Amino acid sequence: MTPGLTLQLIAPATVRRGRRIPFKLRVGNASDTSLDLYLRGREPTFDIVVTDAEGARVWRRLEGAVIPAVLRVLPMRAGEVLVLKAGWDQRGSTGEIVESGDYLVTAILLTDAADPPSAGQHHIRVQ
């Protein structure tokens, strides 16, 4: 990951079944100097992957999406934060609303890196 770059996934810990779940990915420059992010796509793009308690993928935000082969340079000043937003309607890859239970969410920032940075896992309970 780029030195000084921080990623934080913000999402509720508990949601009612069938309700849209909002996600925010905070991308920050925690260093004392400016840095350049090399992002894929015309706009800053990030993926969200939701897995069930057994680790099976339930939903992926960019499943089947075509991301333009455009590399965008985004300069970030020291301390600057970029907030990206998305949501999930709780439908799995089959189109059905997921069952109540525990899910893990990972946000991945699409960069030029072979192993793009991620915000780690966030636990969500669907009731």
Residues 6 or more apart from 102 whose CB is under 8 A from it? 52, 53, 123, 124, 125, 126
- pLDDT of 57 higher than 80: yes
In tens, the pLDDT along 7-47 reads 999 999 999 999 999 999 999 999 999 999 998 877 768 99
CATH 2.60.40.2360 fits 5-126, yes or no: yes
DSSP strand pairing (14-15 vs 118-126): parallel
- pLDDT of 60 higher than 90: yes
In contact, 102 and 58? CB cutoff 8 Å? no
Whole-prediction pTM: 0.89
- pLDDT of 1 higher than 70: no
Of the listed ranges 31-40, 63-72, 73-82, the one predicted with least confidence: 63-72
